[in-house]
Amino acid sequence: MKRANQRLEVLAEWMALIGGFVVFLLMFMVAIDAIGRKLWTALPGALEFSEALMVPAVFLPLMFIQMKREHVFVSAATTQLPIRKQALLDGIAALVGVVVFGLLTWLALDKAYQAWVVGEYRVALISVPIWPFRWLIPLGTGLMVFQLLLTAIEEFQRAFGDEEPSGRVI
């Protein structure tokens, strides 16, 4: 169980690192395109590619963010509650995430499949394939949903377990 957890952590961190590295690449692409366009010629397809690269930059880190519990939430109204009650609420919150983003993942999967079948691309100076990027949306949200399930289990254990739960500083 512990080893499985470690593997998941490595996976989540790698996904986030890839997302960050995409921004690093995006930096060069946007800058070269901007300067090239003024001085000589635009980078073919740079505009279309830079839009598509936003998808991995946004969706791949989602699992890591959930693992670190860094999705923005408000604790002001519940700080006085006992820790078990807070854990219960956090477990329910994770289940809400599972329902909403589970649905969105399913919708995104369907959309990605359709895009794949027709080979969706955008016409620029060179044609930029869009369909591979469509798959990254359900990949990112799907992994987040999986992590949310783990969060829910963990929080319900804290809420109902025999062991007195310790407070967590977030």
Partner 1 sequence: MESYHYGLLGFLILLGLIAVRIPIAFALALVGLGGMLWLSGPDATFALMASQMYSSVANNTLTAVPLFLLMGYFAYHAGLTRACFDTARLWLARLPGGLAIATVAGCALFGACAGSGVAAAGAMGRVSIPEMLRYGYDRKLATGSVAAAATLAVLIPPSIVMVVYAILTEVSIGRLLMAGYLPGVLSALVLMAMIWVRVKRDPKLAPDVPFEITWSQRIASLKDVWGITILILLVLGGIYSGFVTASEAAAIGAIGAFVLMIAAKQLNRATFKDSMLETARTTGMIFLLLVGASIFTGFMAISGVPQKLAEIIVEGKLSVGMVLLIVCIAYVFLGMFLDSISMMLLTLPVLLPVLKQLDINLIWFGIIVVKLVEIGCITPPFGITVYVVKGVVGNTVPLEDVFRGIWWFLAMEILTLLILIFFPQISLILPDTMLGKG
Residues, the chain, total?
A: 170
The interface with partner 1 within residues 29-68 (CB under 8 A) comprises 29-31, 33-35, 38, 47, 50-55, 57-62, 64-65, 68
Question: CA-CA distance, 156 to 140, in Å (whole number)?
Answer: 24
Query: Measured from the CB of residue 73, what is the shortest distance to partner 1 in angstroms?
Result: 4
Nearest C-alpha neighbor of 145 from the set 67, 56, 54, 52: 67
Out of 7, 10, 82, 107, point to the residue binding partner 1 (CB under 8 A).
107
Please provide the DSSP assignment of 108-120 as one string.
Answer: HHHHHHHHHHHT-
**77 by DSSP, 3-state: which?**
coil
89 binds partner 1 (CB under 8 A): yes
Q: Which two tokens stand for residue 67?
A: 């693992």
Taking CA atoms, 95 is separated from 4, 10, 91, 101, 127, in Å, by 22, 24, 6, 10, 41
Site string for partner 1, 113-132 (x = CB under 8 A): --------------------
Closer residue to partner 1, CB minimum distance, 13 or 162? 13
Closer residue to partner 1, CB minimum distance, 23 or 153? 23
> Interface with partner 1 by CB under 8 A: which residues?
13, 16-17, 19-21, 23-24, 26-31, 33-35, 38, 47, 50-55, 57-62, 64-65, 68, 70-78, 86, 89-90, 92-93, 96-97, 99-101, 103-104, 107-108, 110-111, 133-134, 137, 141
